[in-house]
Amino acid sequence: MITNETHQRFKDADFYNPNLDIIILGLGGIGSYVSNCLCRQGYEMYLYDFDTVETINIGSQLFNTSNVGKNKAEVAKELANQFGNHNVMSMGKFEEDSPVGNIMFSCFDNMKYRKIAFERWLEYQKAKTKEYREANPDEVNCFIDGRMSAEQWQVYFVKSTADAKRYVTTLFDDSEVPDAPCSYKATAQTGFGIGAYMSTVFLNHVANKKLGLPVRETAFETKWFASSLTFEKNV
């Protein structure tokens, strides 16, 4: 937990709880923005990405020319440090046996690893005993999956067994993903938007746990479309 002044303006907010550990999987077009939003809250963060920054990434991801050739998770860690958060770890590639936790952001660009990450998170939750759950009713547990194309995004927020059953139905094989031009798969404005939304729905959940009441919205599924500037929400 950070004790400096960088996030003290949030200390009276309902969502303020810097004692949480967060795992972010993928630090590209979605994860780089999620990491940038949440590192300012003082969270301990574990960043997974094996990829390196390329020049083509700069237009749509939170990187600049000085980052080219560097590991994406390392760059996100360095940026978090610049914002005063030194409790950020770069973990390299996420593997099937990598450590998991209560709070996981899936920002992958493929369905294979979304499935692996979700199954690992769900196993972790199921391993908790009834006694443990009853003794820790305010524990924050959630799996947040972001998916994006150049001008639209969708977010799935899983916080319960019922949500998990619904989420499984949204998974499919990578071969079923529609092709898009390589030069038009992501945009900065869409990345900023989904990063901000994923961070906000998570903070709403944290606030609800802290207050002990579901006073803030945490929709299971949310979609956004740039061309019409519209949202579709499935609670």
Residue 189 near residue 28, CB atoms below 8 Å: no
Helix (H) or strand (E) holding 219: none
Residue 202 near residue 103, CB atoms below 8 Å: yes
How many residues make up the chain in this entry? 235
The CA radius of gyration of the chain, in Å to the nearest whole number, is 17
Angle between helical axes of 31-38 and 72-82 (0-180°, round to 10): 20
pLDDT at residue 18 in the model: 87
pLDDT at residue 180 in the model: 58
The closest alpha carbon to 234, from 167, 152, 150, belongs to 167
pLDDT at residue 203 in the model: 97
Across the chain, which distance is largest between two alpha carbons, in Å? 52
pLDDT at residue 1 in the model: 45
**pTM of structure:** 0.95
Distance set, CA 193 to CA 59, 90, 163 (Å): 15, 24, 23
pLDDT at residue 166 in the model: 97
Amino acid residing at 1? M
Q: With a cut of 50, which residues of the chain have pLDDT below it?
A: 1-3
The rounded distance, in Å, linking the Cα atoms of 34 and 58 is 16
List pLDDT tens digits, range 63-72: 999 999 999 9
b/e for 124-133, b at 16 or more Cβ within 10 A? bbeeeeeeee
The closest alpha carbon to 45, from 131, 104, 128, belongs to 104
Distance set, CA 56 to CA 186, 192, 195 (Å): 11, 17, 20
pLDDT at residue 176 in the model: 85
Give 119-124's long-range contacts (Cβ < 8 A, gap of 24+): 120/96, 122/164, 124/100
pLDDT at residue 123 in the model: 97
pLDDT at residue 115 in the model: 97
Residue 156's DSSP bridge partners are: 145, 221
List pLDDT tens digits, range 135-162: 999 999 999 999 999 999 999 999 999 9
pLDDT at residue 181 in the model: 54
CATH code given to domain 8-234: 3.40.50.720
User: What residue segments make up the domains of the chain, in order of their start?
Assistant: 8-234
